[in-house]
Amino acid sequence: MNPFHISFDPSKADTWVGVGLLIFLGIVIFVAKAPKLIAAQLDAQRDTIQNDLDEAARIRAEAERLLAELKAERAQAEVQVRDMLAAAEEQARAYETDARARLEESLARRQQLAERKIANAEAQAEAEVRAAAVDLAARMAEQVLAGRLAGAKSDPLVDRAIPLIAQKLG
C-alpha cells in the first residue's frame, strides 16, 4: 500500500480522524482570520461613521456660524432701520417746523398787505370825502358869492377868481 494514497472509506476510523482534522484546521483558520476580517469591517464602518459624525459636526458648526452671522446682520439691520426712522421723524419735525414758520411768515405778510390795502383804501376814501367836501364848500361859496354879487354890480376879477377857488381847493 501506498502511504500517500488517500481513500475515503467511511467505515474506517482513520477517515473520520482525517475529516475531523480538516474541519478542525478549517475552524482554526476561520477563527484566526474571521475576527481580523470582522474587526477590519467594523473598523471601516467605525471610520465611515466617525467621518459622517465629523462632517455633521463641521456642518453644524458652519450652520451655527451662519446663524450667528444672520442674527448679527438682522440686529444691525434693525439698528439701521431704527436710526433711519429716527432720522426720518427728526427730518419730518424739522420740515413741519420750517413749514409752520413759513406759513406764519406768509400769514404775517398777507396780514400786513391787507392792513396796508385797508389803510390805503381808508386814506383814499378820506381823500375822496375831503375832495367832495372841498368841492361842495367851493360850490356853496360860489353860490353864496354869486347870490350876493347878483344884486350888486358884477366885478370881472371876482367872476374869474370864483372858478379858480374851486380848482385850488379841489
pLDDT tens-place string over residues 66-100: 999 999 999 999 999 999 999 999 999 999 999 99
User: pLDDT-derived band of residue 5, with 50, 70 and 90 as boundaries?
Assistant: low
Whole-number mean pLDDT of the chain? 85
pLDDT tens per residue across span 8-26: 677 888 888 888 998 988 8
Judge contact between 142 and 165, C-beta under 8 A: yes
Virtual torsion, Cα 37, 39, 42, 44, nearest 10 deg: -70
Q: Which three cell numbers stand for residue 101?
A: 414758520
What is the C-alpha separation between 20 and 80, in angstroms, rounded? 87
DSSP state of 4: T
pLDDT tens per residue across span 105-136: 999 999 999 999 999 999 999 888 888 888 88
What pLDDT is recorded for position 162? Answer: 74
pLDDT tens per residue across span 21-53: 989 888 887 777 777 888 888 899 999 999 999
What sign results for the dihedral spanned by CA atoms 3, 8, 13, 18?
positive
Q: Does the pLDDT at position 148 exceed 90? A: no
Does the pTM of the predicted model rise above 0.75? no
The angle subtended at Cα 143 by Cα 137 and Cα 147, nearest 5°, is: 145
